[in-house]
Amino acid sequence: MPEWRRQQIERESRLEAGRRFSDGKVFAAKDTTALLEAVIRPGDRVCLEGDNQKQADHLATALAGADGSRLHDLHIVQSGLVLSAHLDLFTKGIASKLDFSYSGPQGAAIARALYAGRIQLGAIHTYIELFARYFVDLTPQIALIAAVSGDREGNLYTGPNTEDTPTIVEATHFKSGIVIAQVNKLADRVPRVDIPGDRIDFVVEAPTPFYVEPLFTRDPAQITDTQILMAMLAIKGIYAEYGIQRLNHGIGYGTAAIELLLPTFGESLGLKGKVATHWALNPHPTLIPAIESGWVKQIHCFGSEVGMDDYIRARPDVYFTGADGSLRSNRAFCQTAGLYACDLFIGSTLQIDLAANSSTVTPERIPGFGGAPNMGSDAHGRRHPSNAWLKAGREATEAHPGMVRGRKLVVQLLETFGDKMVPAFVEELASVEFARRMKLELVPVMIYGDDVTHIVTEEGIANLLLCRTAEEREQAIRGVAGFTSVGRARDRKMVESLRSRGVIRRPEDLDIDPLDANRHLLAARSIKDLVKWSGGLYRPPGKFRNW
């Protein structure tokens, strides 16, 4: 006879071992490592909450301090590895296998650990993809999470940075796993119950508040004239052309420039109320002028942003907030919104090839993908129409009009040369060599070329939807690749033919004078300007304050 309650019996055994260090559900910070050693088993799948902003840093440090003879061969399944403690798990032999989505500042360290054989790589996932696997074949046995506050019954208040927490808890708790939470404050009563106490097994008040990275803050003072020109091209040549109302912006100065041009350049084009009204987006400070100018109707957020709490609290018509006034973010829901409910994704990349495949992987650095592959993909399961979606679909196909399927606009916004004059356009992605070196079955491509609809550079816009052959597609890409070796190898006659058809559009084709692209067009030219726009509600992190 099979044993149908094996996981529940194992859970009770773990709970009993952990209760030696707790008073009910609460345990002291000094006992964290001992409790983890008691409830975790060698070979366990552990989800240590680390996404691209919020970090269960106390639990991460405590786990990295465990005795390697007691805890070893752990399989880490988590969104983001961004703390040094996350890498310590592998260098100390506590963990051996990794499935993740994003690494950001630890990208170089992860590359070195992979090459040294310290990490056995499962896969680099998108966020939704990894979340999905939590419920199928990567279900955590242990979840280590973070919240703003909690009570002695385990009820948690996640505050504005809810992010991955509900997804992690759901997958772990309802499959007989153990959920342990660190909180900034142990309270008699939480402001609102974001995670019910019956799903939390142990709670610890951490010595310091959990770390949150201000990942989405871009100082307008750093935006260049070239980025402003590309933003003008995008607004007039794509946003206006398609009537984009529902959208997502990736991280970068190029998209920050777009946000800051809406109340100025966008206003001059008469686009207010016609574009950029509904967003799936973190609370970008550079969007404050557009919000204050009445462009933005609604924003749902993956997570929050440091310094934006008071501003969000004062703008509940725009943001999703709870009865306590704070933001309610949710990475899984917002990723789904970006995939199925948005008509446009625009972001950047480090490299793009002649098929429009893009990647941020280099031989020295593996930053992961985060949500870009989901945001930047055409969801074939979508069934509701919009004007922008249908227009893109009509451009992409020569099929019978009665069977035209819409297309999501996926835009890559990048200068032809990146940092240190490294060309962004290449014949072959560096990730191809990385896959060869690591003997991977799948090349780590961030956004596949067949999902990309437009490429915007300082040279102009390449509309890949209008290309009818692979040769046309290649020449359209070369045609906006500037003075890179890829751009210099263009077939000039064919590029001019594509331009005459509107596949390639230069600034002059859109009646944009590059000399007009300067910082005077920005609605805010500094972080201090953003604070003024917010009426003093935006409180930027100290590293962004220079006044």
pLDDT digits (tens, 9 = 90+) for 143-158: 999 999 999 999 999 9
Angle, to 10 degrees, between the axis of helix 165-173 and the axis of helix 331-340?
110
Mean pLDDT of the chain, nearest integer: 95
At 495-525, the pLDDT tens digits run 999 999 999 999 999 999 999 999 999 999 9
- Is residue 109 one of the residues assigned to a domain? yes
Reply yes or no on whether the pLDDT at 490 is more than 70.
Answer: yes
pLDDT digits (tens, 9 = 90+) for 518-533: 999 999 999 999 999 9
- Identify the residue with better confidence: 26 or 545: 26
pLDDT, position 400: 56
- Residue-range definition of the domain harbouring residue 106: 24-205
- The answer to the question of residue 232 being in a domain is yes
Measured in degrees and rounded to the nearest 5, phi and psi for residue 5 equal -120, 25
Concatenate the DSSP letters of all residues of 153-166 into one string: T--EE-TT--TTHH
- For residue 438, what pLDDT is reported? 84
Q: Is residue 536 part of a domain?
A: no
Identify any residues that bridge with 77 across adjacent strands, giving them in sequence order: 99
Q: pLDDT value at position 94?
A: 98
Q: Is residue 339 part of a domain?
A: yes
Do 512 and 442 reside in the same domain of the chain? yes
Residues 235, 150 share a domain: no
Q: Which of 205, 231, 247 is the last residue of a domain?
A: 205
pLDDT of residue 368: 85
- For residues 347 and 362, give the distance between their C-alpha atoms in angstroms, rounded to a whole number: 18
The count of other CB atoms within 10 Å of the CB of residue 137 is 8
What is the percent of the chain where pLDDT is above 90? 87
Does residue 533 lie in a domain region? no
- 301 and 232 in one domain? yes
- Residues 146 and 279 reside in one and the same domain: no
Q: What's residue 52's pLDDT?
A: 78
Task: Look at the chain and report how many structural domains it folds into.
Answer: 2
Mean pLDDT, to the nearest integer, of 56-65? 97
**What is the 3-state secondary structure of 354-383?**
CCCCEECCECCECCECCCHHHHCCCCCCCC
Q: Provide mean pLDDT across the span 299-318.
A: 97
Q: What is the pLDDT of residue 423?
A: 95
Whether residues 189 and 267 fall in one domain: no
**Interior CA angle at 371 toward 365 and 375, to 5°?**
125
Last residue of a domain, one of 205, 240, 270: 205
- On whether both 192 and 232 belong to a single domain, the answer is no
Say yes or no: 241 and 141 in one domain.
Answer: no
Tell me: do 429 and 505 sit in the same domain. Answer: yes
179 and 274 inside one domain: no
For position 362, what pLDDT does the model report? 79
Q: Are 454 and 462 in contact (CB under 8 A)?
A: yes
pLDDT, position 107: 87
Average pLDDT rounded to a whole number, residues 410-435: 94
Mean per-residue pLDDT for 371-386? 94
Query: Of 174, 205, 236, which residue is a domain's last?
Result: 205
- Flag whether pLDDT at 546 surpasses 90: no
Q: Of the candidates 61, 112, 57, 117, which has an alpha carbon nearest to the alpha carbon of residue 89?
A: 61
Half-sphere CA count of 198, side-chain side, radius 13 A: 1
**528/365: higher pLDDT:** 528
**Cα-based torsion angle of the residue sequence 372, 378, 384, 385 in order, rounded to the nearest 10 degrees:** 110
The predicted-structure confidence for 315-356, as pLDDT tens digits, reads as follows 999 999 999 999 999 999 999 999 999 999 999 999 999 999
- CATH number for the domain spanning 84: value is 3.40.1080.10
Do 280 and 198 have their domain in common? no
pLDDT in tens, 438-448: 888 889 999 99
Tell me which of 323 and 261 has the higher pLDDT.
261
Phi-psi region of 83 (alpha: psi -120 to 50; beta: other; left: phi over 0): beta
Lookup: tokens for 525? 């030219």
Strands (E), 192-296: 202-205, 246-249, 278-280
**Count of all residues that appear for the chain in the document:** 547
Mean pLDDT computed over 297-320: 97
Asked if residue 477 and residue 427 are part of one domain, the reply reads yes
Q: pLDDT at residue 401 above 70?
A: no
- Alpha helix stretches (DSSP H) within 279-358: 288-292, 309-313, 331-340
Query: Is residue 213 domain-resident?
Result: no
Rg (CA), the chain: 24
Q: Is residue 157 part of a domain?
A: yes
Percent of the chain with pLDDT strictly greater than 70: 99
Token reading at 309: 């709490």
Does residue 212 fall inside a structural domain? Answer: no
What confidence score (pLDDT) does residue 397 get?
Answer: 83
One domain, residues 234 and 179: no
